Structure 1
Amino acid sequence: MADLRPAILGGTPLATSPIRLVRPVLPEFATLAADVEQTLISGMVTKGQHLAAFEQAVATHLGVAHAIAVSSCTTGLALVYRALGLNGPVIVPSFTFMATVSALIWAGATPRFVEIDPTTTNIDLDAVRAALTPEVQAIVAVHNFGNPAAIAELEAIATDAGIPLIFDAAHGFGAQYDGRPVGGFGTAECFSLSPTKLLIAGEGGIVATNNDELAHKIRTGREYGNDGKYGSDWAGLNARMAEYNAIMGRYSLEQLEQAARQRSQYAALYWAALFATPGIDFQKVRPNDRCSYKDYSITIEASEFGISRDLLSKALAAEGIDSRAYYDPPVHRHAAYAQFAPAEGSLPKTDWLAQSSLSLPIHSEMEFSTIETVCAAIKRIQLFGEELAARL
């Protein structure tokens, strides 16, 4: 009987070895050795041929005029915000990673937080419309967990208002909107290449845009704003990407489509195993879109599931299974951004999602049995939910 019980109640953990939330798929050194050696011999460790080749390959993949590699998605966002001259209110969701908003502050703008649609986890269109005033200078939307935002509708709103639309596409590589890779929409899209993503460069980011003037500013901006004559067109940053990161990124780009398809398979397996479990719901993806599933996130309705999201996460940890609560607390509840927070209780959907969302293990090379183990653990934890709630 003990083995039927969750590990947190004395049963045997289901995971025979720890199941990590993420595990980056990285190349063997031999794959990169020749390019790394050439870089060392040439002495061009930045601004060399590998960076140029990587940028061109990404631009081709995304179908954009410009793909500019930078040191991180955060610096890419900050440069875009600054290059657009944003220094007033900008509409932005609070259910996002803090960098979406911290880059706004660094650029001199102020966030105007709005609600999300808890079914998609992305910015709510009616909330955007309601927040538009003559003072608003831009809209920032997020492809949360790799789920494409309502791009066409947001573009129409931004066009009608005559303001830029920027996408935080940190989770976006591998995602598709109406069959097209995200990246060529709005004024600019900013991607992350950190180890939790599908396309990995170690560290780094991409600013994708079809705007020639903006692209020029980002390219000079990542070089301190240097105009090439040791002057400054504008106050930029050191946001260069090293050659080694570009080499890794080129390899990872070759594996991207396979990674995206694999993750879609894993997401389907999770859904099939858990859809009938009371109190669990799933991120809604439009039929013509593809989510990258940078994270596989479910929501837990405690009144139906039997225990809270946090207790489920604790019970999964006892089973040897990692999970994570993104983004709790939401950004408007961070101390650094409290001065920009709206009135208490005005973002109830954001607050609910932050308290209910749980990301389960997913990476680009998983055994199906790993997903089966995670789902079996969730089901047996739910089965003993009443006892768990009473005891813990």
Structure 2
Amino acid sequence: MDNKLITVTSPLLPNLDDFNEMLKQIWESKWITNNGSFHKQLEKELAAYLKVPYISLFTNGTLPLITALQALRITGEVITTPYSFVATTHALWWNGIKPVFVDIDPKTGNINPDRIEAAITPKTTAIMPVHVYGKPCDTKRIQEIADQYGLKVIYDAAHAFGVEVDGESILNAGDLSTLSFHATKVYNTVEGGAMVMHDERMKKRIDYLKNFGFANETTVVGPGINSKMDEVRSAYGLLNLKQVDAAIEARHQVAVKYRAALRNVEGITFFDDMPGVRHNYSYFPIFVDAGKYGMTRDELYFKMKEQNVLGRRYFYPLISEFSTYRGLESAKLENLPEAHKMADSVICLPMHHALTSNDIDRIINIIL
């Protein structure tokens, strides 16, 4: 019996010969960072692919979140979700901002707009939702609330590369959106990230902030940080952009097979595609009802692990359960029942472009 290790994800890698050719160009130019030609080209090509007006590259996915808060001068309190990777909330904490957690919508895993208004106080300055698993938030309702109360909206779109609603990029929602290009993501530059903005003025401000605040050789316009992407990863990213559509379609086919096999398994549920949405199939979470399935989530998780299949319990525990945040009033369990329920039942199954039919069958047979 095949017992090879099946990981929850696998990086999309460019052709090594093609990458070496681009590395030769970098070596010949001796321009390896600081807004080189590949960096400029990648920003241009990503903006076109993602259907966004302006984009700024970063060295990882956390620094755009931190920088977005700086750029919009966010202070006080920000309403956010406990159901995400911890970087979402850490970005607030690093800026001296108090996170205020609200519960999620169990139909999507995203922040529940119906819970936002009750969390607004005189200190609230922004909302930071997350497109969890790449499933679009209710951006219209969130924007209505933000406009009514004069709040900024920053979307953590780390999971949402290429996601569209009715042909429009989800990245155009809110005031700013941020992306992660980490190796685990649908599209990666090894480590990397980006910020999407609406106008040239904000693009210029962000570009200053990510380069120590320099506006030119002798002028520093603000207390910036160093978070630029280098030429090596920009070249890698250009090559991956050429093959990301094929990778997303391969992921789509994995999702189709999972759904067909698991739809009628009692005690196992999952999300279906949303109407009008171009999904990127970044994750495939299932939710285990122990009473109906006959096994707890953790029992199934470790059963998979024992058979060399690595799922992940994204996002367990909730951010609100970590020591830094659990003392907050909004972190109390009674305020977040749906988030706790989802965190306690989720397993993200292996999902990537390189899964074989045999891999998928092995995973399904363990669950069945």
Q: Equivalent residues in 2 for 1:211-230 (5 A)?
A: 211-230=199-218
The answer for the alignment partner of 1:245 in structure 2 is 233
Find the aligned partners of 1:198 and 1:301 in 2 and give their Cα distance. Answer: 29
For 1:370, the aligned partner's letter is: D
1:173-218 CA deviation, whole Å, 9 max, x = no partner? Answer: 1322223332222111101111111111011101011133322221
The answer for the alignment partner of 1:300 in structure 2 is 288
Question: Which aligned runs of 4 or more in structure 1 are off by greater than 3 angstroms?
Answer: none
The answer for the alignment partner of 1:346 in structure 2 is 335
- Return the offset for 1:319: 1.8
Matched, 1:287 2:270: no
Answer yes or no: is the 8 Å Cα contact 1:187–1:211 preserved in 2. no
Matched, 1:367 2:360: no
* 1:94 equivalent among 68, 82, 102: 82
* 2:247 equivalent among 242, 259, 263: 259
- Return the offset for 1:146: 1.2
The answer for the alignment partner of 2:65 in structure 1 is 77
SS in 2 for 1:335: coil
For 2:203, the aligned partner's letter is: A
For 2:344, the aligned partner's letter is: Q
SS in 2 for 1:238: coil
Q: Equivalent residues in 2 for 1:190-201 (5 A)?
A: 190-201=178-189
After superposing the two structures, state which structure 1 stretch, 160-169 or 177-186, moved more.
Answer: 177-186
After superposing the two structures, state which structure 1 stretch, 221-230 or 271-280, moved more.
Answer: 221-230
Find the aligned partners of 1:125 and 1:15 in 2 and give their Cα distance. Answer: 46
Matched, 1:377 2:334: no
For 1:362, the aligned partner's letter is: M
Change (3 A) 1:213 1:108: farther
Answer yes or no: is the 8 Å Cα contact 1:91–1:139 preserved in 2. yes
- Return the offset for 1:341: 4.7
SS in 2 for 1:137: strand
1:247-294 CA deviation, whole Å, 9 max, x = no partner? Answer: 111111111222222212211211110011111111254211133221
For 1:281, the aligned partner's letter is: T
Q: Structure 1 stretches of 5 or more lacking a match?
A: 1-13, 380-392
The answer for the alignment partner of 1:274 in structure 2 is 262
* 1:356 equivalent among 339, 342, 345: 345
1:210-241 CA deviation, whole Å, 9 max, x = no partner? Answer: 13332222100110112224443221111010
Find the aligned partners of 1:241 and 1:221 in 2 and give their Cα distance. Answer: 13
Answer yes or no: is the 8 Å Cα contact 1:196–1:294 preserved in 2. no
- Return the offset for 1:126: 0.3
The answer for the alignment partner of 2:12 in structure 1 is 25
Answer yes or no: is the 8 Å Cα contact 2:50–2:162 preserved in 1. no
Find the aligned partners of 1:341 and 1:103 in 2 and give their Cα distance. Answer: 19
For 2:360, the aligned partner's letter is: I
Equivalent pairs, count:
366
- Return the offset for 1:148: 1.4
After superposing the two structures, state which structure 1 stretch, 317-326 or 172-181, moved more.
Answer: 172-181
The answer for the alignment partner of 1:3 in structure 2 is none
SS in 2 for 1:112: strand
* 1:58 equivalent among 46, 61, 69: 46
The answer for the alignment partner of 1:384 in structure 2 is none
For 2:302, the aligned partner's letter is: K
Answer yes or no: is the 8 Å Cα contact 2:333–2:340 preserved in 1. no
Answer yes or no: is the 8 Å Cα contact 1:120–1:284 preserved in 2. no
State the TM-score, normalized to the length of structure 2: 0.95
For 1:358, the aligned partner's letter is: I
For 1:257, the aligned partner's letter is: D
Q: Equivalent residues in 2 for 1:114-125 (5 A)?
A: 114-125=102-113
Find the aligned partners of 1:230 and 1:98 in 2 and give their Cα distance. Answer: 37
Change (3 A) 1:211 1:107: farther
Find the aligned partners of 2:221 and 2:156 in 1 and give their Cα distance. Answer: 25
* 1:179 equivalent among 167, 170, 173: 167
Q: Structure 2 stretches of 5 or more lacking a match?
A: none
Find the aligned partners of 1:228 and 1:204 in 2 and give their Cα distance. Answer: 24
Find the aligned partners of 2:2 and 2:267 in 1 and give their Cα distance. Answer: 23
After superposing the two structures, state which structure 1 stretch, 196-205 or 102-111, moved more.
Answer: 102-111
- Return the offset for 1:301: 0.9
Alignment RMSD, CA only? 1.5
Higher-Rg structure is 1
Identity of aligned residues (%): 29
State the TM-score, normalized to the length of structure 1: 0.90
